[in-house]
Amino acid sequence: MTAGRATHPALLGLCLVEFSSWGVLYYTLPVLGVTITNATGWPVLVVPTVYTLGLLLAAALAPLAGRWVDHLGPKRVMAAGSLLGAAGVALSTVGPSLLMFAAGWCCVGVAQAATLYPPAFSAANQWFGAGGWPLTVITLAGGVSSTALAPVIAGLGDELGWRRALLVLAAGYAVVSTSAAVGLLRPRWRRPERRGREHRTYVAAIGRSPAFRSSRQALAVAALGLYAVTLTLIPLLTERGLGYREAAMVFGLVGTGQVLGRLAFHPLSRFGDPRSRLLVQVAASATVIAILGVVRGPLHALAIAAVLAGAVRGAHTLAAASAVSDRWGSEAYATILGRFHAPIAAAMALGPAAGSALAHLTGSYGTAALVFSVLTLLAVVLVRKA
């Protein structure tokens, strides 16, 4: 099943799962983190640390989730992940125990591996064909979740307190995401043609290939730089003399840029070969990071730089997905994408902490951005092996 009216409900289902999963499983702690810290009296670094641990757990489990999708289908994996994610959010509210809070968000990390982009990309790859607009639509659904749900999450926290807010979010997420997975992800799932030892040998051979390793490493380095700099953009801008409100406004434009980058990715992906497209992505990443490191004003120049950085970051998500289908097709796509995506996801998770740490060591967020730009530029060398 690759096209036609029968696939429309499945695409809607994938969008609903991504919208709700990114909104609840990914963005809730960044939105409610300060509220939770103030209410519990925990040290300031506790909530960010728990959040990062969950993201790293999701990255570590990405290969396993890919194998599950290939052999069980996205419907079962994403439905189970949705239920586990809802249970994890609810578990984190039990009592005053920090241990229970951390355990709950570790469950959420496991659920993220089963619900966020890679499983959805795998489903879209088989049902709608490699690349194309469905991937863009899915990423747009995930991308707008923060804009749509962050105010709702913040409002619930103010009105109900963080524990009740999380319980409401858990219940709503369980209903929306699980129902979408079970009710709409219904097209027939075709398991990999290779089974058992043959399947493992095929996947292992691809994983050992220079193209696989070099492409993955280059995109991981680019992800580290992009997320380290864009997610520490507010302190970088206030360091340049902007007020908090102005800095926050410019930071918000990164999201606008992400949408533009994802819309532009599909038509631009028709040009060149996989290696040249990867080269452009990594070089563009290094360039926009450097721009953020050197531009000091005026305000409209900083705004343009933020939009450009967001556009490259938005395209990066699709570049990682298409890098697999462009090189190795659709056979065992979920398993291969899971392996490919794991270090990239880990780099994304560590980005904010790495950005803050390097800024502390160098004495400046601007200097840190230039260091990340140089590191990303060096990753271009890896592309020559891809």
The percent of residues in the chain predicted with pLDDT above 70, rounded, is 97
User: pLDDT digits over 184-233, tens only?
Assistant: 999 999 888 777 888 788 888 998 998 899 999 999 999 999 999 998 88
Region 90-107 average pLDDT: 92
Q: Is the pLDDT of residue 157 over 70?
A: yes
User: pLDDT digits over 44-70, tens only?
Assistant: 889 889 999 999 999 999 999 999 999
- Mean pLDDT comparison of 95-99, 154-158, 161-165, 254-258, highest-scoring range: 161-165
pLDDT for position 306: 92
Task: Please name which of 129, 128, 152 lies closest in space to residue 19, comparing C-alpha atoms.
Answer: 152
| Superfamily of structural domain 5-184 | MFS general substrate transporter like domains (1.20.1250.20)
Question: Which range has the worst mean pLDDT, 10-14, 20-24, 131-135?
Answer: 131-135
What is residue 189's DSSP assignment? P
User: Which residue has better confidence, 256 or 362?
Assistant: 362
Per-residue confidence band for 258, with pLDDT thresholds at 50, 70 and 90: confident
pLDDT for position 7: 60
Q: Is the pLDDT of residue 73 over 60?
A: yes
pLDDT for position 4: 46
pLDDT for position 386: 60
pLDDT for position 307: 93
pLDDT for position 275: 86
Domain boundaries, the chain: 5-184, 198-383
**Separation of alpha carbons 299 and 242, rounded Å:** 8
Q: Is the pLDDT of residue 378 over 60?
A: yes
Distance of CA 39 to the CA centre of its chain: 29
Average pLDDT value for the chain: 89
User: pLDDT digits over 316-331, tens only?
Assistant: 988 888 888 888 887 8
CATH number among 1.20.1250.20, 3.10.20.440, 2.30.40.10, 3.30.160.40, domain 198-383? 1.20.1250.20
In single-letter form, the type of residue at position 117 comes to Y
The sign of the torsion formed by the CA atoms of 249, 375, 140, 72 equals negative
pLDDT for position 131: 64
